[in-house]
Structure 1
Amino acid sequence: METKQHIPAFAYKLMLLAATVIWGFAFVVMKDAVDVLPPAQLIGVRFLLTGLLMAALFHRKLRGSLNKGFLSAGLVLGAVTFLAFWVQTVGLAETTPGKNAFLTATYCVIVPFMLWAITRKRPTFANVGAAVLCVAGIGLVSLTAGSFTIGFGDLMTLLCAVFFAAQIIAIARFSKRYDVLGLTVYQFLFGGIMGLALGAATEPFPGWQAVGNADFLFNLAYLVVFASGLCYVLQNVGLAHVPEAQGSLLLSLESVFGVLASVIFYGEVVTGRMAAGFVLIFAAILISELAPTRKRSGQQDQPQAQPAADDEDYAVA
């Protein structure tokens, strides 16, 4: 009779922490990669390779999935996810990895308000307070002193946060009806096809010599194998054994590691004003993630927490 090996709870928390470190450093890797391959082509190649890798690993989950409903859900997720990552990458080309990381993370604050528009479920006072802090933080990080204008890269990054919020809501709804692993395979495959199609139509190909460069191939391998494939496994195994509130808190550290990686490897200089903005945005994320949800009238008191928001299930880098 076999005995299951006991894995301590902290090991699952370390899995989530490892995923956030990998995702945080992925912002710098993406910054270097997009200097070689244009945004749509880069996302297309990354997603398609990730989808093929995951299809090989989870091929059993695809059995019985070739039907209209499953494929339609995968197509919708693929479209929303591609738009989120594409706009994020366009923004990253015009801003720093650290700012891109923190501004992307504002999707956590956007989700309750997007749900309000869809389900008429009003945000809590904590959600509103988080939104106020978030807007103040965005102003400190992005607005040009004196002119109150926002750079194109920061604006695109904020737009990508809206798409990431829509992705989270779509995943939550579709995963109730379809297997989440199978959905994710189609999500990456469809997103990859869209990226390659858009890239072929609108972007110049840099040439095989550029994409065959060893540094670019290393960056691409990091994005496909680690930032997408490995992190997806670490996150989902970890979230299955860690309370939602704790899981959300750990995953929110992605933005912190994004700034740290940008300072170490990209040479980004964090001013006092930017640091204050990062603190406000991070505080808004924590409030949004850890605040209890609004209870329906007549519902009995019970502990509740916001569902964990994630990339990729997902990394947002």
Structure 2
Amino acid sequence: MSKYIGEIMLFTTAIIWGSGFVFSAISLDYLTPYQILAVRFSVGVLILSFIFYKRLRNIKKSTLLRGFILGFLLYLAFLLQTVGLQYTTPSKNAFITAINVVIVPFIALIMDKRKIDKFEMSGAFLAIIGIAFLSLQLSVGKINIGDLLTLGCAFGFAYQIYYTSKYVKDEDPILLTVVQMGVAALFAWIFVIGKGEIYFSLEWEGILSTLYLGVFSTTLAYCFQTMAQKYTSETKTAIILSTEALWGMVFSVLILSEVLTGRMIIGAILILLAIILAETKPDFFKRKAMEDI
């Protein structure tokens, strides 16, 4: 069981993020995107600091520096995604963001000269095709500034995944997450104040939905992601996290009564096949090679 602890944590993260689409939709009826980001990251850093305050006494300078880099990348990705959404469709925004799944292995190749695993790479492309079926409309239209900003967001998330895998090898994952959340919260509040969005709605539905995003989609999910990356590769991490789109569809159908279409079913099957390919195909061929010997 311990062999798959990283995968279990990442699947849990993807499920939580999938449910987050529903609560984000509810929160947006009461708060602006910038306010939501400020609240969710602030909730994250407050909860983690309260629970793990004893660990904070032993925080290292390297953790602060690396956490700052991760927090900057995290907020930059969310910011580009949020602004990009104002100029493009939600379906294109979701699809282009998910392209980070194929960017990650190339970052590792360029930065570390690491050989690309052909099965994980095939799984990554298969996941992208599946996400296209889930979210991308057939009438794609012309590329606009929103699409380009969202592509920048995909690179932001890809680098966040890459550097998390790199840093977590010799850092405390909890402290790394605390600093990351704190930095993201700092940037979020700078933008909220800069945009003059200092007045928040106090409607209970909006408060509870935003708190869900802060407690589960931010605090718990990013703790799981950071800890899980001690045990899994960057590419496998990106593939498993791409199932966020699949779980988003599931929760939208169950909670928001979205109509399930044939395209959604095809997309779900392709994403699941991508996971199976990345997780089991190499082992199958290794066993076959051993049998031939």
The reply to whether TM is greater than 0.5 is yes
**Residue 205 in 1 paired to residue 197 in 2?**
yes
Distance in 2 (alpha carbons) for counterparts of 1:128 and 1:234: 23
Question: 1:101 offset after TM fit, Å?
Answer: 6.2
Q: Which residue is equivalent to 1:163?
A: 156
Distance in 2 (alpha carbons) for counterparts of 1:15 and 1:134: 19
Q: Which residue is equivalent to 2:39?
A: 45
Q: Which residue is equivalent to 2:286?
A: none
**Residue 257 in 1 paired to residue 247 in 2?**
yes
**Residue 86 in 1 paired to residue 82 in 2?**
no
Q: Which residues in structure 2 correspond to 1:81-120 (within 5 Å)?
A: 81-90=74-83, 95=89, 104-120=97-113
TM-score (norm 1): 0.69
Query: Are residues 286 and 41 of structure 1, via their aligned partners in 2, closer, same or farther at CA, if it must alter by over 3 Å?
Result: farther
Choose which of 44, 50, 53 in structure 2 pairs with 1:56: 50
Between 1:122-131 and 1:57-66, the stretch displaced more is 122-131
Among all aligned residue pairs of Structure 1 and Structure 2, give the percentage whose two residues are the same amino acid.
33
Q: Which residue is equivalent to 1:72?
A: 65
- Write the deviation string for residues 101-140 of structure 1: whole angstroms up to 9, x where unpaired: 6765543333111211212223233244335434544554
Distance in 1 (alpha carbons) for counterparts of 2:122 and 2:240: 21
**Residue 229 in 1 paired to residue 222 in 2?**
no
Between 1:33-42 and 1:273-282, the stretch displaced more is 273-282
Q: Which structure dedicates a bigger proportion of its chain to helix?
A: 2
Aligned length: 280
Q: Which residue is equivalent to 2:182?
A: 189
Question: 1:72 offset after TM fit, Å?
Answer: 1.6
Question: 1:288 offset after TM fit, Å?
Answer: 4.3
Please, what is the CA RMSD of the aligned residues?
Answer: 4.1
Choose which of 255, 266, 279 in structure 1 pairs with 2:256: 266
Question: 1:221 offset after TM fit, Å?
Answer: 1.4
Distance in 2 (alpha carbons) for counterparts of 1:186 and 1:30: 24
Question: 1:45 offset after TM fit, Å?
Answer: 2.0
Q: Which residue is equivalent to 2:21?
A: 27
Query: Are residues 37 and 17 of structure 1, via their aligned partners in 2, closer, same or farther at CA, if it must alter by over 3 Å?
Result: same
Distance in 1 (alpha carbons) for counterparts of 2:271 and 2:280: 14
Distance in 1 (alpha carbons) for counterparts of 2:73 and 2:252: 27
Q: Which residues in structure 2 correspond to 1:287-298 (within 5 Å)?
A: 287-288=277-278, 292=282
Query: Are residues 142 and 101 of structure 1, via their aligned partners in 2, closer, same or farther at CA, if it must alter by over 3 Å?
Result: closer
Query: Are residues 138 and 63 of structure 1, via their aligned partners in 2, closer, same or farther at CA, if it must alter by over 3 Å?
Result: same
Structure 2 residues not aligned, in runs of 5+: 284-288
Choose which of 201, 211, 215 in structure 1 pairs with 2:205: 215
2:68 is paired with a residue whose SS is: helix
